[in-house]
Structure 1
Amino acid sequence: MQISNLSSPSLKITDFSTLPDQSWCIYGANDSGIEEFFAILTGDVTPTAEVLSLPEAPGIISFKIQQDIYENELRNDDSDFLDHLDPGTPAIAFLPPGSDRSPLLAALAMTDSLNEGYRQLSSGQSRKLILLREILKGARHLLLQNPYDGLDQAGCLELDKALAALHRHQVQVLVTVNNSEDIPAWCSHLAILHQGRIVAQGKREDVINQIDTVQSAAKGAFQAVLDTLGVTPTPPGNPAEELVNLKDGFARYGQHLLFEHLDLRIDTGCHTLVTGPNGSGKSTLLHMITGDNPKCYANDLRIFGIQRGSGESIWELKRDMGIVSPDLHRNYRAPGTTRQVVLSGLFDSIGLYRRPTGVQEQRAMQWLEWTGLAGRASQPFRRLSFAEQRLVLIARALIKLPRLLILDEPTQGLDGHNRAGLLQFLEQIAANRISTILYVSHRQDEYRPFFRQHIRLGTAGPSAPMP
């Protein structure tokens, strides 16, 4: 690979080249131009360049590839013609013939997922499936975008082992990451992208210590955001209210049991962390609570004191929820501007179908100021980068400061400073008793002292108070 004197709206790359015996990691914050750089490497964007020599037919593992497959699965959804939910194309159908005998399946813990439908896979599992497909097709060059996002700790270790082994088998691997903690130990070379330019590149051990000098400061003034919005903290003496009560809960897909005998109660201020390996049912649990999974009617479940299945309106329940999840991100395909997406959070809709008031418009702009995207308010949401879209969806969930804030892997795609900024803001929300937080994460560096309860799925002990 060789790039010389490349120019695009957000990038100026003087020189970048790789050799066949090298494995590369490109690190950059969300505003560094790293998403456009990845799009250039994959051939999705063609810039002006003196030299642009890229790998032929690389294997690509990216958020865009995952989204394209997901949208194709939705177009072929036959649930309306069946007496059950259509699980989608079996995972094995995405792989070359004979793949069920590959040792890579066990190495990536995908053996038990081959007969599941694509839409039943978690985001981490679907990313591993695409990686398997490209490896087993014989790709000699692999380009991976944020490969560790959405993977549990064991999955990250499995992926690391697989990628390290590929390098030993003369497969050239290049990954891009937004978090310095995700820079893999197996990569031989590292480049740092900052404000559209490669400011350092070379052997990993020579470059990695230069990261701190180019990182920008995290977002601040979080209390000022609440003050600007006129938010009044809940008095500390107010009695706690029941928000979620699940008794002896269970969920399964076909014959596959996700969890059972789960007791979960969340009262006001009982901020709850949910963890567990990929496929253990974390997102399913949240979908039951939000009413987006029919298992909510088969379980003994109360939301805001209302028994599910008693004739209640799900829209009345969602009025008091703010939601961010990979599933919402995948499904937010309605046309609209960035500002309209934030405003849609006030009405719990995918798209904006009501005329907002002037006060609501002003509030949406205040949230966009917090995300740093006020200047993109009139741009189409779908033209934003993945990380920018995720920040907008976070603002969409926060705009109404709901009683229950449900966050499923909300920092996926965010760089370290945006992650730190969101978590610091959540600490302010918890401290001011504004919302009760239900949070799913694979990252141990996101566990925060304000969590009062820890639900561990896929383990012997499903629930425990935080230490």
Structure 2
Amino acid sequence: MLAINAATFPVGTDKKLTISSFHLNAGECCTIIGNNGSGKTIMARILNQELPAESGELIHHLRSEMVSFEKQIKLYDDEWQRTNTDMLGAEEEIATSVENLIQQTHHNTTHCHELAALFGISHLLAQPFTALSSGEGRKVLLAQALMSEPELLILDEPFDGLDVQARAQLMATLEQLLQKGIALALIVNRFDEIPPFAEQLGWILDCQFQHLQPRNTFFADPLTQQLLHCASATELTLPPALHQTEKPTFADPLIELQQIKVSYDERVILHDLNWQLNHGEHWHIAGPNGCGKTTLLHLITGDHPQCYNNNITLFGRRRGSGESIWEIKQHMGIVSPALHMAYRVAGTPLTVMLSGFYDSIGLYQQPGDQEIKLARQWLKLLGMEKQEQASFLQLSYGQQRLLLIARAMVKHPTLLILDEPLQGLDSLNRHLVLQYIDRLVAHSHSQLLYVSHHAEDVPTCMTHRLQFIPAPAGGYRYEVTRL
């Protein structure tokens, strides 16, 4: 049994999270819903016995494991630090394999392979963990958590980063775990990610959790009804570009890829891909986890080592013709899970926004008055003007993502590349960001490359779709659709 009554938990130096009542038994499933910055991740850590109560009652008799974005980021950070030091021998520099990571704390090869099969990652067991996509990494963490056979599984945003099929598989797997007597606590910000088998639901708002309610009572609650409708459309006026001069013009196609092939040893990621982007086009790139969507984007941005081995033309220049990476990226705004993981430098929301003008992670130049004025206009648009001097790294994951999306938009780039940009955002912020994207595209020269597994998360401005489809003989074929 897990019981919390009239308890408070410290959150930073001047804030506390309060829990009036929370009860969960073995074999029960509850779901906690909250907006960005509401305290969801702190709540998850409390349920996992990571934070002591400052006051009140906390009874915890369930062996627990937790899976979260923060844990996934920490694993990437730890692995990067472990393999990027001069103190290691040649063998130690090899990245940890998926199989070894799953068995990091509980060694049982048979159980590891069973869980890998359950989550459809058996083919990845020999791969380095750091080479996986965000969705694949999430499945690995789930398998790792289940290795210890916990009595309580706490999942903080478990469906983000997973494609449609993977989300359905995970939902079915969670129901099986529930039937085996494992207690489940899911923390989400999407109403459509509330499992149909969750008997108890509750809100966490502004670091306050009242109590769990039966499903029917929860949806009939006036507060729930109000929050369900709080994402109504509002008029938006985006801050202007820094320089109102005419944008540089490039001949069609803006991007051209010919006979693209990317492989690692014998594993082929992309094969014979021919694709181009012309003026006025906005592309949705779709496909299952591991099909090569992010690899494609990294070829375009120059962040993939095989980009110079392929026939790629960007803004009228063949890749490898003497251009610098910054000459290419000055025409781009980029948001991705990888960028979010890399943006670990100390700074404030204001400096993060300003860094978008210079395509840097961190701010290393003295910005001008106009840049500062525009950055503050963007913070006001996001409702974060009062937090401009807060610590970026202390913000919630969703607030960080929101800032990075605005950072990519701040210079009205020729090409806006958004890889799973809404990952980690609640329904209100997803709705607002989609409006920002549509408005920017409608009132600027920016063109969009957009990756998302959620059909409802695709902006209305999209004109084309590049779909990765599993081929009968293995690998993927490509299908282009005009929307």
Fold match (TM-score > 0.5): yes
The equivalent residue for 1:32 is 38
Query: Of 49, 52, 55, which residue of structure 2 is paired with 1:49?
Result: 55
The equivalent residue for 2:71 is 65
Secondary structure of 2:237 counterpart? helix
CA contact (8 A) 1:269 1:433 kept: no
Corresponding position: 1:263 with 2:287: no
Query: Of 184, 192, 196, which residue of structure 2 is paired with 1:181?
Result: 192
CA contact (8 A) 2:17 2:208 kept: yes
What is the TM-score normalised by the length of structure 2? 0.89
Shift of 1:107: 2.3
CA contact (8 A) 1:55 1:141 kept: no
CA contact (8 A) 2:28 2:182 kept: no
Shift of 1:141: 1.1
Q: Distance in 2 between matches of 1:381 and 1:77?
A: 26
Q: Distance in 2 between matches of 1:290 and 1:433?
A: 21
Amino acid at match of 1:91: V
Shift of 1:78: 5.5
The equivalent residue for 1:2 is 3
The equivalent residue for 1:350 is 361
Secondary structure of 2:320 counterpart? coil
Shift of 1:221: 5.0
CA contact (8 A) 2:27 2:180 kept: no
Corresponding position: 1:93 with 2:100: yes
Q: Distance in 1 between matches of 2:385 and 2:3?
A: 36
Corresponding position: 1:225 with 2:232: no
CA contact (8 A) 2:239 2:378 kept: no
Amino acid at match of 1:24: C
The equivalent residue for 1:466 is 482
Q: Distance in 2 between matches of 1:126 and 1:234?
A: 43
Q: Distance in 2 between matches of 1:434 and 1:199?
A: 47
Residues 277 and 234 of structure 1: is their aligned pair in 2 closer, same or farther, counting only changes over 3 Å?
Answer: farther
**CA offsets 1:35-56 (integer angstroms, 9 cap, x no match):** 3322322344444331122355
Shift of 1:184: 1.3
Amino acid at match of 1:464: V
Residues 24 and 233 of structure 1: is their aligned pair in 2 closer, same or farther, counting only changes over 3 Å?
Answer: farther
Larger displacement relative to structure 2 (406-415 or 87-96): 87-96
* Correspondence list, 1:388-407, <5 A: 388-407=399-418
Shift of 1:187: 1.9
CA contact (8 A) 2:239 2:377 kept: no
What is the TM-score normalised by the length of structure 1? 0.92
Unaligned runs of 5+ in 1: none
The equivalent residue for 1:283 is 294
The equivalent residue for 1:298 is 309
Q: Distance in 2 between matches of 1:259 and 1:202?
A: 48
- Report the aligned-residue RMSD: 2.6
Secondary structure of 2:441 counterpart? helix
Corresponding position: 1:18 with 2:18: no
Residues 370 and 261 of structure 1: is their aligned pair in 2 closer, same or farther, counting only changes over 3 Å?
Answer: same
Shift of 1:126: 1.1
Amino acid at match of 1:34: K
Q: Distance in 1 between matches of 2:243 and 2:266?
A: 47
Larger displacement relative to structure 2 (254-263 or 203-212): 203-212
Corresponding position: 1:369 with 2:369: no
Shift of 1:177: 0.1
Q: Distance in 1 between matches of 2:177 and 2:316?
A: 53
Shift of 1:455: 0.9
Q: Distance in 1 between matches of 2:243 and 2:464?
A: 26
Query: Of 253, 274, 280, which residue of structure 1 is paired with 2:264?
Result: 253
**CA offsets 1:239-294 (integer angstroms, 9 cap, x no match):** 97432111121222222111211112112221000011101111111111111001
**CA offsets 1:59-78 (integer angstroms, 9 cap, x no match):** 11011111111011101226
CA contact (8 A) 2:250 2:316 kept: no
Larger displacement relative to structure 2 (98-107 or 24-33): 98-107
Unaligned runs of 5+ in 2: 10-14, 472-476
Identical amino acids, percent of aligned pairs: 32
The equivalent residue for 2:339 is 328
Count of residue pairs the alignment pairs up: 462
